[in-house]
Structure 1
Protein backbone atom coordinates (compact mmCIF):
# COMPACT_ATOMS: atom_id res chain seq x y z
CA UNK A 1 0.00 0.00 0.00
CA UNK A 2 2.91 2.35 0.71
CA UNK A 3 4.10 2.24 -2.90
CA UNK A 4 0.60 3.06 -4.19
CA UNK A 5 0.55 6.23 -2.12
CA UNK A 6 4.10 7.08 -3.19
CA UNK A 7 3.24 6.60 -6.87
CA UNK A 8 0.05 8.63 -6.48
CA UNK A 9 2.03 11.44 -4.82
CA UNK A 10 4.62 11.43 -7.61
CA UNK A 11 1.88 11.73 -10.23
CA UNK A 12 -0.22 14.30 -8.40
CA UNK A 13 2.84 16.53 -7.96
CA UNK A 14 3.72 16.42 -11.66
CA UNK A 15 1.63 18.95 -13.60
CA UNK A 16 2.52 17.45 -16.98
CA UNK A 17 1.47 13.95 -15.92
CA UNK A 18 -1.83 15.21 -14.50
CA UNK A 19 -2.49 17.24 -17.64
CA UNK A 20 -1.79 14.19 -19.80
CA UNK A 21 -4.05 12.01 -17.66
CA UNK A 22 -6.85 14.57 -17.98
CA UNK A 23 -6.53 14.66 -21.75
CA UNK A 24 -6.82 10.88 -21.93
CA UNK A 25 -9.67 10.77 -19.40
CA UNK A 26 -11.66 13.13 -21.64
CA UNK A 27 -11.57 10.55 -24.44
CA UNK A 28 -14.07 8.47 -22.44
CA UNK A 29 -12.64 5.19 -23.75
CA UNK A 30 -13.52 1.90 -22.11
CA UNK A 31 -11.00 0.56 -19.57
CA UNK A 32 -8.54 3.26 -20.62
CA UNK A 33 -5.14 3.87 -19.00
CA UNK A 34 -1.69 5.33 -19.66
CA UNK A 35 1.11 2.90 -18.96
CA UNK A 36 4.61 1.62 -19.57
CA UNK A 37 7.33 4.28 -19.70
CA UNK A 38 4.93 7.04 -18.66
CA UNK A 39 4.92 5.52 -15.17
CA UNK A 40 8.16 3.50 -15.11
CA UNK A 41 10.49 6.24 -16.30
CA UNK A 42 8.99 8.84 -13.99
CA UNK A 43 9.46 6.62 -10.94
CA UNK A 44 12.98 5.65 -11.96
CA UNK A 45 13.82 9.33 -12.42
CA UNK A 46 12.33 10.12 -9.01
CA UNK A 47 14.33 7.37 -7.32
CA UNK A 48 17.52 8.49 -9.06
CA UNK A 49 17.00 12.16 -8.18
CA UNK A 50 16.93 13.21 -11.81
CA UNK A 51 14.45 14.47 -14.36
CA UNK A 52 15.08 12.86 -17.71
CA UNK A 53 11.51 11.98 -18.53
CA UNK A 54 10.03 13.55 -21.56
CA UNK A 55 6.56 12.51 -22.51
CA UNK A 56 7.69 11.78 -26.04
CA UNK A 57 6.10 8.35 -26.11
CA UNK A 58 2.87 8.17 -24.17
CA UNK A 59 1.26 4.73 -24.30
CA UNK A 60 -2.53 4.93 -24.10
CA UNK A 61 -4.26 1.58 -23.76
CA UNK A 62 -7.94 0.76 -23.71
CA UNK A 63 -10.20 -2.26 -24.18
CA UNK A 64 -13.00 -2.22 -26.73
CA UNK A 65 -14.06 -5.51 -28.29
CA UNK A 66 -16.67 -3.81 -30.47
CA UNK A 67 -14.05 -2.23 -32.75
CA UNK A 68 -10.58 -3.76 -32.91
CA UNK A 69 -9.44 -1.94 -36.05
CA UNK A 70 -6.10 -0.17 -36.16
CA UNK A 71 -7.97 2.65 -37.88
CA UNK A 72 -9.74 3.44 -34.61
CA UNK A 73 -6.40 3.65 -32.81
CA UNK A 74 -5.02 6.02 -35.47
CA UNK A 75 -8.12 8.21 -35.21
CA UNK A 76 -7.65 8.46 -31.45
CA UNK A 77 -3.94 9.23 -31.89
CA UNK A 78 -4.84 12.03 -34.32
CA UNK A 79 -7.35 13.48 -31.85
CA UNK A 80 -4.74 13.35 -29.08
CA UNK A 81 -2.11 14.96 -31.32
CA UNK A 82 -4.52 17.77 -32.15
CA UNK A 83 -5.09 18.29 -28.42
CA UNK A 84 -1.41 18.02 -27.44
CA UNK A 85 0.96 18.08 -30.41
CA UNK A 86 4.11 18.05 -28.22
CA UNK A 87 3.45 14.50 -27.13
CA UNK A 88 4.07 11.45 -29.28
CA UNK A 89 0.98 9.35 -28.65
CA UNK A 90 0.77 5.61 -29.06
CA UNK A 91 -2.75 4.20 -28.75
CA UNK A 92 -3.46 0.48 -28.65
CA UNK A 93 -6.75 -1.32 -28.15
CA UNK A 94 -5.80 -4.23 -25.91
CA UNK A 95 -8.79 -6.18 -27.22
CA UNK A 96 -6.80 -6.81 -30.41
CA UNK A 97 -3.24 -7.04 -29.10
CA UNK A 98 -3.50 -10.76 -28.36
CA UNK A 99 -3.58 -11.29 -32.13
CA UNK A 100 -0.35 -9.36 -32.66
CA UNK A 101 1.33 -11.10 -29.72
CA UNK A 102 0.03 -14.58 -30.55
CA UNK A 103 -1.58 -14.98 -27.10
CA UNK A 104 -4.98 -16.20 -25.99
CA UNK A 105 -7.61 -13.45 -26.05
CA UNK A 106 -7.21 -10.88 -23.25
CA UNK A 107 -10.21 -10.29 -21.00
CA UNK A 108 -9.51 -6.63 -20.13
CA UNK A 109 -6.69 -4.09 -19.97
CA UNK A 110 -5.25 -5.50 -16.75
CA UNK A 111 -5.03 -8.96 -18.27
CA UNK A 112 -3.40 -7.49 -21.39
CA UNK A 113 -0.73 -5.51 -19.56
CA UNK A 114 0.13 -8.58 -17.49
CA UNK A 115 1.67 -9.80 -20.78
CA UNK A 116 3.90 -6.75 -21.18
CA UNK A 117 7.68 -7.31 -21.09
CA UNK A 118 8.77 -6.30 -17.56
CA UNK A 119 7.02 -6.23 -14.22
CA UNK A 120 8.14 -2.61 -13.80
CA UNK A 121 6.62 -1.77 -17.19
CA UNK A 122 3.32 -3.62 -16.64
CA UNK A 123 1.83 -0.69 -14.75
CA UNK A 124 -0.76 1.84 -15.87
CA UNK A 125 -2.55 4.81 -14.33
CA UNK A 126 -5.61 6.92 -15.00
CA UNK A 127 -7.85 9.54 -13.46
CA UNK A 128 -11.27 8.27 -12.46
CA UNK A 129 -14.52 10.23 -12.67
CA UNK A 130 -13.63 12.03 -9.41
CA UNK A 131 -10.14 12.92 -10.73
CA UNK A 132 -8.49 10.50 -8.34
CA UNK A 133 -5.46 8.58 -9.60
CA UNK A 134 -6.10 4.87 -10.07
CA UNK A 135 -3.28 2.38 -10.48
CA UNK A 136 -3.32 -0.88 -12.43
CA UNK A 137 -0.38 -3.10 -11.46
CA UNK A 138 -0.91 -6.85 -12.00
CA UNK A 139 2.51 -7.61 -10.45
CA UNK A 140 2.38 -4.91 -7.81
CA UNK A 141 4.74 -1.97 -7.49
CA UNK A 142 7.63 -3.49 -5.53
CA UNK A 143 9.84 -4.22 -8.55
CA UNK A 144 9.27 -0.71 -9.88
CA UNK A 145 10.22 0.96 -6.60
CA UNK A 146 12.99 -1.54 -5.80
CA UNK A 147 14.49 -0.78 -9.26
CA UNK A 148 14.27 -4.43 -10.31
CA UNK A 149 14.04 -5.13 -14.04
CA UNK A 150 12.76 -8.64 -14.71
CA UNK A 151 10.41 -10.21 -17.24
CA UNK A 152 6.77 -10.89 -16.56
CA UNK A 153 5.90 -14.61 -16.46
CA UNK A 154 4.26 -14.32 -19.90
CA UNK A 155 7.21 -12.71 -21.71
CA UNK A 156 9.95 -14.65 -23.49
CA UNK A 157 13.25 -14.33 -21.60
CA UNK A 158 15.37 -14.09 -24.77
CA UNK A 159 13.21 -11.24 -26.08
CA UNK A 160 13.39 -9.64 -22.64
CA UNK A 161 17.20 -9.68 -22.68
CA UNK A 162 17.27 -8.26 -26.22
CA UNK A 163 14.90 -5.47 -25.15
CA UNK A 164 16.98 -4.61 -22.07
CA UNK A 165 20.13 -4.46 -24.20
CA UNK A 166 18.48 -2.20 -26.78
CA UNK A 167 16.93 0.15 -24.21
CA UNK A 168 20.23 0.54 -22.28
CA UNK A 169 18.31 1.54 -19.18
CA UNK A 170 21.33 0.83 -16.97
CA UNK A 171 23.19 3.76 -18.52
CA UNK A 172 20.39 6.21 -17.79
CA UNK A 173 19.41 4.80 -14.40
CA UNK A 174 22.55 3.38 -12.77
CA UNK A 175 20.86 1.94 -9.68
CA UNK A 176 18.71 -0.52 -11.66
CA UNK A 177 19.07 -4.21 -10.86
CA UNK A 178 18.88 -5.91 -14.24
Structure 2
Protein backbone atom coordinates (compact mmCIF):
# COMPACT_ATOMS: atom_id res chain seq x y z
CA UNK A 1 0.00 0.00 0.00
CA UNK A 2 1.51 3.30 -1.02
CA UNK A 3 1.42 6.46 1.06
CA UNK A 4 -1.16 8.23 -1.13
CA UNK A 5 -3.56 5.29 -0.85
CA UNK A 6 -3.08 5.15 2.93
CA UNK A 7 -3.63 8.90 3.19
CA UNK A 8 -6.92 8.58 1.26
CA UNK A 9 -7.97 5.67 3.50
CA UNK A 10 -7.17 7.61 6.67
CA UNK A 11 -9.22 10.61 5.54
CA UNK A 12 -12.11 8.41 4.37
CA UNK A 13 -12.25 6.52 7.68
CA UNK A 14 -12.12 9.70 9.79
CA UNK A 15 -14.59 11.63 7.63
CA UNK A 16 -17.10 8.76 7.82
CA UNK A 17 -17.09 8.91 11.63
CA UNK A 18 -19.43 11.70 12.72
CA UNK A 19 -18.29 11.41 16.36
CA UNK A 20 -14.66 12.02 15.40
CA UNK A 21 -15.61 14.85 13.04
CA UNK A 22 -17.57 16.51 15.85
CA UNK A 23 -14.55 16.31 18.17
CA UNK A 24 -12.24 17.66 15.47
CA UNK A 25 -14.62 20.60 14.96
CA UNK A 26 -14.70 21.36 18.70
CA UNK A 27 -10.90 21.44 18.82
CA UNK A 28 -10.64 23.40 15.57
CA UNK A 29 -12.94 26.05 17.05
CA UNK A 30 -10.33 26.72 19.75
CA UNK A 31 -8.20 28.26 16.99
CA UNK A 32 -4.92 27.20 18.59
CA UNK A 33 -1.65 27.42 16.70
CA UNK A 34 -0.40 24.16 15.15
CA UNK A 35 -3.20 22.22 16.85
CA UNK A 36 -3.91 18.51 16.38
CA UNK A 37 -5.54 15.48 17.97
CA UNK A 38 -3.27 12.47 18.05
CA UNK A 39 -2.19 9.20 19.56
CA UNK A 40 -5.02 6.78 20.46
CA UNK A 41 -7.71 8.95 18.87
CA UNK A 42 -6.30 8.08 15.45
CA UNK A 43 -4.49 4.81 16.16
CA UNK A 44 -7.39 3.06 17.91
CA UNK A 45 -9.86 4.06 15.18
CA UNK A 46 -7.74 2.52 12.44
CA UNK A 47 -7.03 -0.60 14.49
CA UNK A 48 -10.75 -0.94 15.25
CA UNK A 49 -11.62 -0.67 11.56
CA UNK A 50 -8.93 -3.18 10.58
CA UNK A 51 -10.29 -5.60 13.21
CA UNK A 52 -13.97 -5.06 12.30
CA UNK A 53 -14.71 -3.67 15.76
CA UNK A 54 -16.88 -0.86 16.99
CA UNK A 55 -15.19 2.03 18.78
CA UNK A 56 -12.74 1.07 21.51
CA UNK A 57 -12.78 3.05 24.72
CA UNK A 58 -10.18 5.82 24.75
CA UNK A 59 -8.24 6.72 27.87
CA UNK A 60 -8.32 10.33 26.74
CA UNK A 61 -8.36 12.62 23.75
CA UNK A 62 -4.86 13.97 23.23
CA UNK A 63 -4.99 17.54 21.97
CA UNK A 64 -1.61 19.02 21.14
CA UNK A 65 -0.70 22.50 20.01
CA UNK A 66 2.41 24.65 19.74
CA UNK A 67 2.57 28.13 21.27
CA UNK A 68 5.77 29.58 22.70
CA UNK A 69 3.96 32.69 24.00
CA UNK A 70 2.33 30.87 26.93
CA UNK A 71 3.88 27.61 28.11
CA UNK A 72 2.19 27.45 31.50
CA UNK A 73 0.40 24.32 32.69
CA UNK A 74 -2.35 26.62 33.92
CA UNK A 75 -3.16 27.72 30.36
CA UNK A 76 -3.32 24.08 29.24
CA UNK A 77 -5.66 23.36 32.15
CA UNK A 78 -7.87 26.32 31.16
CA UNK A 79 -8.12 24.86 27.65
CA UNK A 80 -9.02 21.45 29.08
CA UNK A 81 -11.72 23.11 31.19
CA UNK A 82 -13.06 24.89 28.13
CA UNK A 83 -13.28 21.54 26.32
CA UNK A 84 -14.90 19.90 29.36
CA UNK A 85 -17.56 22.62 29.35
CA UNK A 86 -18.29 21.88 25.69
CA UNK A 87 -18.10 18.07 25.91
CA UNK A 88 -18.07 16.96 29.57
CA UNK A 89 -18.44 13.27 28.72
CA UNK A 90 -14.92 13.17 27.22
CA UNK A 91 -11.59 12.92 29.02
CA UNK A 92 -9.51 15.70 27.49
CA UNK A 93 -5.73 15.99 27.68
CA UNK A 94 -4.24 19.22 26.32
CA UNK A 95 -0.48 19.68 26.00
CA UNK A 96 1.50 22.58 24.56
CA UNK A 97 4.38 20.98 22.67
CA UNK A 98 6.40 24.18 23.15
CA UNK A 99 6.64 23.07 26.80
CA UNK A 100 6.86 19.30 26.60
CA UNK A 101 10.59 19.21 25.87
CA UNK A 102 11.16 20.38 29.45
CA UNK A 103 9.27 17.42 30.88
CA UNK A 104 10.95 15.01 28.48
CA UNK A 105 14.52 16.31 28.86
CA UNK A 106 14.92 17.20 25.18
CA UNK A 107 16.01 20.30 23.34
CA UNK A 108 13.05 22.55 22.40
CA UNK A 109 10.79 21.24 19.65
CA UNK A 110 10.26 23.42 16.60
CA UNK A 111 6.59 22.43 16.18
CA UNK A 112 4.10 19.62 16.80
CA UNK A 113 5.48 17.55 13.93
CA UNK A 114 8.90 17.41 15.56
CA UNK A 115 7.39 16.82 19.00
CA UNK A 116 5.52 13.71 17.94
CA UNK A 117 8.72 12.18 16.53
CA UNK A 118 9.46 11.51 20.22
CA UNK A 119 6.21 9.64 20.87
CA UNK A 120 6.58 5.92 21.67
CA UNK A 121 5.38 4.02 18.59
CA UNK A 122 5.28 4.84 14.89
CA UNK A 123 1.54 4.03 14.80
CA UNK A 124 0.96 6.42 17.72
CA UNK A 125 3.03 9.25 16.20
CA UNK A 126 0.15 10.45 14.05
CA UNK A 127 -2.14 13.42 14.55
CA UNK A 128 -5.07 14.87 12.63
CA UNK A 129 -6.99 18.11 12.47
CA UNK A 130 -9.87 19.70 10.65
CA UNK A 131 -8.62 22.68 8.65
CA UNK A 132 -10.52 25.91 7.95
CA UNK A 133 -12.06 24.27 4.86
CA UNK A 134 -13.38 21.42 7.05
CA UNK A 135 -10.95 18.98 5.47
CA UNK A 136 -8.83 16.45 7.33
CA UNK A 137 -5.10 17.06 7.50
CA UNK A 138 -2.59 14.82 9.19
CA UNK A 139 1.00 14.70 10.35
CA UNK A 140 2.84 11.39 10.53
CA UNK A 141 6.62 11.67 10.79
CA UNK A 142 7.00 7.91 10.31
CA UNK A 143 4.26 7.58 7.71
CA UNK A 144 1.03 5.59 7.84
CA UNK A 145 2.37 2.17 6.82
CA UNK A 146 2.82 0.73 10.33
CA UNK A 147 -0.56 2.01 11.48
CA UNK A 148 -2.47 0.39 8.60
CA UNK A 149 -0.35 -2.77 8.64
CA UNK A 150 -1.05 -3.24 12.37
CA UNK A 151 2.61 -3.02 13.32
CA UNK A 152 3.74 -1.80 16.72
CA UNK A 153 7.23 -0.43 16.15
CA UNK A 154 9.15 1.84 18.55
CA UNK A 155 10.13 5.22 17.17
CA UNK A 156 13.89 5.71 16.81
CA UNK A 157 13.93 8.36 19.55
CA UNK A 158 12.06 6.39 22.21
CA UNK A 159 13.59 4.30 25.01
CA UNK A 160 13.15 0.57 24.32
CA UNK A 161 12.78 -0.33 28.01
CA UNK A 162 9.87 2.08 28.37
CA UNK A 163 8.47 0.86 25.03
CA UNK A 164 8.52 -2.77 26.21
CA UNK A 165 6.87 -1.84 29.54
CA UNK A 166 4.22 0.09 27.62
CA UNK A 167 3.44 -2.92 25.41
CA UNK A 168 2.81 -5.04 28.51
CA UNK A 169 0.79 -2.36 30.31
CA UNK A 170 -1.38 -1.46 27.31
CA UNK A 171 -2.18 -5.12 26.49
CA UNK A 172 -3.00 -4.13 22.93
CA UNK A 173 -2.64 -7.68 21.57
CA UNK A 174 -5.54 -8.72 23.80
CA UNK A 175 -7.76 -5.98 22.34
CA UNK A 176 -6.54 -6.20 18.74
CA UNK A 177 -5.25 -9.73 18.11
CA UNK A 178 -3.93 -9.05 14.59
CA UNK A 179 -1.29 -6.62 15.84
CA UNK A 180 2.33 -7.52 15.34
CA UNK A 181 5.01 -6.17 17.67
CA UNK A 182 8.30 -5.37 15.93
CA UNK A 183 11.17 -4.60 18.24
CA UNK A 184 14.07 -2.90 16.54
CA UNK A 185 17.20 -1.53 18.12
CA UNK A 186 17.39 2.23 18.56
Are residues 1:146 and 2:163 paired? no
Q: How many angstroms apart in 2 are the aligned matches of 1:86 and 1:56?
A: 12
| 2:169 equivalent among 161, 166, 169 | 166
What is residue 49 of structure 1 aligned with on the other side?
A: 52
Conserved 8 A contact 1:56-1:87:
no
For 1:99-133, what per-residue CA distance to the aligned partner results, in whole angstroms no more than 9, with x for missing partners? 10111110000000110000000000000010000
Q: How many angstroms apart in 2 are the aligned matches of 1:55 and 1:168?
A: 14
| 1:108 equivalent among 95, 111, 119 | 111
Pick closer, same or farther for the CA change 1:39–1:129 going to 2, 3 Å. Answer: same
| 1:68 equivalent among 66, 71, 77 | 71
Offset, 1:51: 1.2
Structure 2 stretches lacking a partner, 5+ long: 182-186
Are residues 1:14 and 2:13 paired? no
Pick closer, same or farther for the CA change 1:108–1:158 going to 2, 3 Å. Answer: same
Q: How many angstroms apart in 2 are the aligned matches of 1:53 and 1:25?
A: 23
Structure 1 runs of 4+ aligned residues shifted over 3 Å read: none
What is residue 87 of structure 1 aligned with on the other side?
A: 90
| 2:132 equivalent among 129, 134, 140 | 129
Offset, 1:145: 0.3
Offset, 1:56: 4.8
Normalising by structure 1, we get a TM-score of: 0.98
Conserved 8 A contact 1:123-1:137:
yes
Structure 1 stretches lacking a partner, 5+ long: none
The SS at the match of 1:44 is: helix
The CA RMSD measured in Å over matched residues stands at: 0.7
What is residue 31 of structure 2 aligned with on the other side?
A: 28
Normalising by structure 2, we get a TM-score of: 0.94
How many residues are aligned here? 178
